[in-house]
A and B are shown apart, each in its own frame.
Chain A
């Protein structure tokens, strides 16, 4: 049996999951979302990755970025490695793609701050 905390809403139900053949049986959830949450967590846990990339601009040495979708939990550090290799040499707008299809996940890494605003505002 595996124990999880549901994070779909602030109630934070304690979930118990038991495998019955190929099927996961979930207990402890107060709603449907909890069941789906648990099954996802147990079969294909995914996370967004938020970090920064290096820039050449002294006033804004790091620009915040994130994945535009969730990547498999186990590839987080792989994604980080690729993010860490970026050096941003041009001012970008918020939402612009920084890395396309990061680690072949089909997910992009996008800028979450507006470098153009940040540089102008100085």
Chain B
């Protein structure tokens, strides 16, 4: 053991627990032993980060902490048995789907698998939808590089994929006068990082952009390139375009193990059969370290960092024009983002997310104390926001590594494995650039074993589902004449037509659950949260797919919405109680 590791180990033993031991493995640090809390586990891992090693592999166990096994799909069949593909992408989040789309430019057989019932089920549908300008990451980090490039690429990609991106800009508010002194530092940083459109605004200038700011401010730093996008619509669009260009998406598909020969993965075992890929791309989000481990290449660990987000009624949407934050700019290195107030592409206001370390990778439960803190912290930023405006909230889990930077590289030890791992914020903003890079790495790797030719029929253009409520009346009337289903409103809060729902059901990645339809065309996203339209949407799914109502789910697996028909089973033969009213 090197002196450096020895010193680190004794520091950790002193600070945390004598039961922690360290070792070096392929130039990474591995932590082993037992600690008494998740906080200790995290702190020990953190102490090993950025010490000049490739990565931190935290194998510590927490005494008496029961971490549930990864949730497996109910489905089990042989649909993929014996399938040979050029590229297997593990993970159907924004990263996996973007990679599939970029790789579909080439004449390759591509299979993307995800264990959930839809794409964008984890972090990619549980974030604030911000396309960050790229000023926050550490200079020179992968985050910094890919964020700035990704931000630039969004304009073109979103246009090709027919996804709405709004360059709304973000204002980071300051309440002290010393702001001006920071100007040279800030502008220099922006220049160095390649971030354009950074300006310092006076109080008056801020109020011109965001007239409803509810707190005293001295001014703001404004980032013109900040954008917003619907993260799940973007993911779906990437996936659909990939499918249109020949890629295959297999949902409800979990990778269980891998078989290697020498330094290559030869087969990947799933719940739907064994797949034989030439190249494997690990885009498994919070499970990326587990996937890496299956390939014998775990040089990093994911520590799940949770965040909760609140959504407000559209009615309040007009109070802001873009993204408003109270600084975390110069706390960039702390990783725990302050969150902010964001106007989504659909016109709702979003508050959050917060950030906290916790052991569970798939626990999307929300907690009243977090929701309350978010409301207390952010609602005052904008005049006129109140808890009565809350229509929903959710939680997401960031796939953070201890180094807190993206891992975008070809494996050093497994010849046919590429990692796109540790993708946390600004992962959404960086996705187009990450996919571009992985495309390059993948082609390089594949060329070692096969010829890689361009896909002659590649079409980068994907047409989204028409958004009737945003059309002008003439166009809307015309499209209804062509397809009367567009004239039948199913979701009264959001004004969504039956036609849009049918389109989602028959899209390249069919949306056949309530939540999948909701993510694509929004019925149930409004203030009634589906109270009125749920039965109608269920009936449309049933009509279009032939599924009985009892087989329709909220989000796949066992999430059935109704259990049986009435009048089917004899009712209980018990007589009613209540003979008296004691």
Q: Which residues of A contact B (CB under 8 A)?
A: 2-5, 41-42, 45, 52-54, 62, 73-77, 80-81, 84
With A5-B581, A73-B576 as contacts: A62 and B570 at CB distance below 8 Å:
no
Do residues A45 and B578 form an inter-chain contact, with CB atoms below 8 A? yes
Chain A residues within 8 Å of B572, by CB: 77
Do residues B573 and A77 form an inter-chain contact, with CB atoms below 8 A? yes
Q: Which of A5, A42, A77 contacts B576 (CB 8 A)?
A: A77
- 14 A–B pairs (Cβ distance < 8 Å), ordered by A: A3-B581, A4-B581, A41-B581, A42-B580, A45-B579, A74-B576, A74-B579, A75-B575, A76-B576, A77-B571, A77-B575, A81-B571, A84-B566, A84-B571
The residue of chain A having its C-beta at the shortest distance from the C-beta of B578 within the complex is: A73
Question: A110 to nearest B CB, angstroms?
Answer: 18
Interface residues on B, range: 10 to 19
List residues 1-42 of chain B with CB under 8 A from any CB of chain A.
none
Report which residue of B567, B575, B579, B580 has the largest number of chain A beta carbons within 10 angstroms of its beta carbon.
B567
The residue of chain A having its C-beta at the shortest distance from the C-beta of B581 within the complex is: A4
Do residues A3 and B570 form an inter-chain contact, with CB atoms below 8 A? no
Q: In the complex, A54 Cα to B578 Cα: how many Å?
A: 28
Q: In the complex, A76 Cα to B573 Cα: how many Å?
A: 10
Chain B at the A interface: mostly helix, strand, loop or mixed?
loop
Q: In the complex, A9 Cα to B581 Cα: how many Å?
A: 17
The residue of chain B having its C-beta at the shortest distance from the C-beta of A86 within the complex is: B567
Chain B residues within 8 Å of A4, by CB: 580-581
Chain A residues within 8 Å of B575, by CB: 74-77
Q: In the complex, A33 Cα to B581 Cα: how many Å?
A: 18
Chain A residues within 8 Å of B581, by CB: 2-5, 41
B472 proximal to A (CB < 8 A): no
With A3-B582, A4-B581, A41-B581 as contacts: A84 and B576 at CB distance below 8 Å:
no
Q: In the complex, A93 Cα to B566 Cα: how many Å?
A: 23
Chain A residues within 8 Å of B579, by CB: 45, 73-74
Chain B residues within 8 Å of A73, by CB: 576, 578-579
List residues 550-582 of chain B with CB under 8 A from any CB of chain A.
566-567, 570-576, 578-582
List residues 226-269 of chain B with CB under 8 A from any CB of chain A.
none
Question: B529 to nearest A CB, angstroms?
Answer: 25
Q: In the complex, A81 Cα to B574 Cα: how many Å?
A: 11
Q: In the complex, A5 Cα to B581 Cα: how many Å?
A: 8
Chain B residues within 8 Å of A62, by CB: 566
The residue of chain B having its C-beta at the shortest distance from the C-beta of A1 within the complex is: B582
Q: In the complex, A118 Cα to B574 Cα: how many Å?
A: 34
Question: A106 to nearest B CB, angstroms?
Answer: 19
Q: Which of A42, A45, A54, A76 contacts B567 (CB 8 A)?
A: A54
List residues 433-483 of chain B with CB under 8 A from any CB of chain A.
none
The residue of chain A having its C-beta at the shortest distance from the C-beta of B569 within the complex is: A84
Ranked nearest first, the 6 interchain pairs of A and B with the lowest CB-CB distance are A4-B581, A84-B567, A54-B567, A74-B575, A76-B576, A80-B571
The residue of chain B having its C-beta at the shortest distance from the C-beta of A52 within the complex is: B566
Give 11 new A-B contacts, CB below 8 A, not counting A2-B582, A81-B570: A2-B580, A2-B581, A3-B581, A3-B582, A5-B581, A45-B578, A53-B567, A73-B578, A73-B579, A74-B575, A84-B570
Question: B575 to nearest A CB, angstroms?
Answer: 5
Question: A83 to nearest B CB, angstroms?
Answer: 8
Question: A8 to nearest B CB, angstroms?
Answer: 14
Question: A1 to nearest B CB, angstroms?
Answer: 9
Q: In the complex, A25 Cα to B573 Cα: how many Å?
A: 34
Q: In the complex, A52 Cα to B581 Cα: how many Å?
A: 27
Q: In the complex, A3 Cα to B566 Cα: how many Å?
A: 35
Over the window 84-125 of chain B, the binary record of Cβ atoms lying under 8 Å from chain A Cβ atoms (1 yes, 0 no) is 000000000000000000000000000000000000000000
